[in-house]
Amino acid sequence: MAVHCPFLNEYKVFHLINANSVIYRCELGKVLLKQKDLNKKWACGGCIVPWILAGRPCRYLKPRKDFILRGSSQTWFTCELLDISLERPHEFCDAHCQHYIPV
């Protein structure tokens, strides 16, 4: 995850003898993540949410994330105007929709 995600927060910092250990929380998926999880594909490493949000998305577009089991997740978006779900909103919104209004 090279782009900052607004849903990623520090949840708790453990002060160890030689270093600090940080537990994070994905506020979108409501799950706790270890530092080493952040680069994993099922967590932040494979998540398109920060990329979509960084690209001036439509104001009606809302990200959704579900961590079904630890080690797996599902990411999708919903359009609050058209009441549809989108896996890759950049493909549909940019190419096919005339209702785009930037945030």
Report in angstroms how near the CB of residue 21 gets to ligand SF4 at its nearest: 18
Among 59, 36, 46, residue whose Cα is nearest residue 5: 46
Q: Which is nearer to ligand SF4, 16 or 102 (CB)?
A: 102
- Tell how strand 84-86 and strand 74-79 pair up: antiparallel
Residue 94 — φ and ψ, nearest 5°?
-70, -35
Interacting residues toward ligand SF4 by CB under 6 A: 1, 5, 7-8, 26, 28-29, 43-44, 47, 49-50, 58, 60-61, 65, 79, 81-82, 89, 92-93, 97, 99-100
